[in-house]
Amino acid sequence: MSHTMEWKVRLHLFENDEGATRANATLDTGATRVTGHGTAHCHPADTDVPEIGDELAAGRAMRDLAQRLLAVAEHDVEGVQAPRAEARPSVGRTA
């Protein structure tokens, strides 16, 4: 059976008053919404290059999103797994 889907990720970047770049990466599958978060801070001794802060915050948000999505999938797998043979109750057997 063939299965094709398209999931979209929205990535929002913003800078707060302290100069930190924050990012939220949100995946909406239609059935599930998962959001990852990331931040980047420019060290005072470093040259301020906004694109680098954006890349770091976005990458961290997407990595966090990936970890959260894997956790959702692992939880779903646990929910559909059949009990193991040793855990199944015996039918028609007496001790």
* CATH topology for the 8-75 domain: Double Stranded RNA Binding Domain (3.30.160)
Q: How does pLDDT run across 5-42, given as a tens digit for each residue? A: 999 999 999 998 888 999 999 999 998 999 999 999 98
Q: How does pLDDT run across 29-81, given as a tens digit for each residue? A: 998 999 999 999 988 888 888 899 999 999 999 999 999 999 999 999 988 88
Q: Which long-range contacts (CB under 8 A, 24 or more apart) does 67-74 make?
A: 67/36, 68/34, 68/35, 68/36, 69/27, 69/34, 72/32, 72/34
pTM, two decimals, is: 0.78
Q: Would you list the domain boundaries of the chain?
A: 8-75
